[in-house]
Amino acid sequence: MRGIAIAVLTGFAVAAGADEPKVPLGLLPLIFPADNPYTAEKVELGRALFYDTRLSVDSKVSCANCHLPKFAFGDGLMVSEGFQGMTGRRNAPTVINRAYSLAQFWDGRAATLEEQVKGPIENPVEMNHSHDGAIQRLRAVPGYVAWFEKVFGTREFTIDHVAKAVATFERTILSGNSAYDRYKAGDLKAMTSSQVRGMKLFFGKAKCDECHEGINFTSNGFHNLGVGTDKKEPDEGRFEVTKDPKDWGAFKTPTLREIARTAPYMHDGSQKTLEEVVEFYDRGGTPNKNKDPKIFPLRLSPREKKDLVEFLKALNGEGWQHASAPDTLP
């Protein structure tokens, strides 16, 4: 019912039909935009485009350069590398469970996945192409022309069609059926005793669920933890989008699904391990002019810290491993 309610309120439609994508244990039914409904063929087109370097100006960078399956659709780097090895300011967030996400990017500047897909193509540090240039290159590939016609009913496809295909693929990259999900479903042997203690800390003393809530372990909100605010020129985060002083230094709360596989952490990749992340929270973040009041010293014991890390490992799951590169591209 919740998925249906969300669909009605936001113009999204619940996936339906014989080829409806199945979601792993612990997740809600997938919903798709009313103007970009799900089809299996669209997912496959989006998968090809996601892995195709021809979207970049030098045909060397694809979406998958920063979102690799072996890193649970992150890239394992502090900050990502794009066109000619140039680097940006921020760590590549995982694509996993973006179907349940609201605003995209660390600063929330894209309202939808479709809008997010278009950003890196024109970004000079990422793909350094133009939308028109990318489309003309794809239109020169007969296989893509036929594929777009089959999926969208037109041979004169645009950047919006590309974005819709890639976003549809990304909405099927899911993680659920974790040890935590199985434990909650009644399998009391699914988690270790340390993980169970860590779960109680997460939802209790540590109050992690005040920001990392729900089935996707995120409120989709923006918070200032103090990460990087002690630098000479701090990243202003959400403030760059809204220009609202209360958003200075605030960044989107990421999902914790697959968190043990997506190091390093924080928007700048400054925390190398989960142990470092727990220590950061334990000392109450980094003081600054706009630190969120929800961030305060936790004063955890060594065993509590270990248990919390072990619980986070219990959020590794299944459902995204199918989304590997296609054997061939058009």
pLDDT in tens, 156-208: 999 999 999 999 999 999 999 999 999 999 999 999 999 999 999 999 999 99
Give dist(CA 85, CA 94) in Å, integer: 20
For residues 305 and 227, membership in a common domain is answered with yes
The answer on 228 and 158 residing in a single domain is no
Cβ atoms of residues 46 and 21 within 8 Å: no
Query: Helices 302-313 and 274-282 sit at what angle, rounded to 10 degrees?
Result: 130
The DSSP output letter for 36 is S
pLDDT band of residue 237 (cuts 50, 70, 90) is: very high
Whether residues 31 and 162 fall in one domain: yes
- Same domain? For 149 and 241 the reply is no
Cα–Cα distance, 98 to 169 (Å, whole number): 10
Q: Are residues 266 and 142 in the same domain?
A: no
How many folded domains does the chain comprise?
A: 2
Residues 280 and 140 in one domain: no
List residues with catalytic annotation: 126
In a domain, 318, yes or no: no
CATH code assigned at 220: 1.10.760.10
Average pLDDT, the chain: 94
Final residue before a domain boundary, out of 113, 146, 170: 170
Question: pLDDT for 305-318, tens place per residue?
Answer: 999 999 999 999 99
Last residue of a domain, one of 136, 170, 204: 170
Average the pLDDT over 274-299 and give the result: 97
270 and 302 co-located in one domain:
yes
Based on the fold, state whether residues 222 and 243 are members of the same structural domain.
Answer: yes
The domain of 251 spans: 182-313
Instruction: Give the model's pLDDT for residue 7.
Output: 35
86 found inside a domain? yes
Confidence of residue 20 (pLDDT cuts 50, 70, 90): confident
Give me the percent of the chain exceeding a pLDDT of 70.
Answer: 94
pTM of the entire predicted model:
0.93
Residue-level pLDDT at 21? 84
| Nearest-angstrom CA–CA distance, 324 and 169 | 11
- What is the per-residue pLDDT for 86? 94
How do beta strands 12-14 and 251-252 pair? unpaired
Are both 161 and 73 inside the same structural domain? yes
Contact of 225 with 293, CB cutoff 8 Å:
no
Averaged over 251-279, what is the pLDDT? 98
pLDDT in tens, 78-129: 999 999 999 999 999 999 999 999 999 999 999 999 999 999 999 999 999 9
Residue 322 domain-assigned (yes or no) = no
Please check whether residues 192 and 149 belong to one and the same domain.
Answer: no
Say yes or no to pLDDT of 226 above 60.
yes
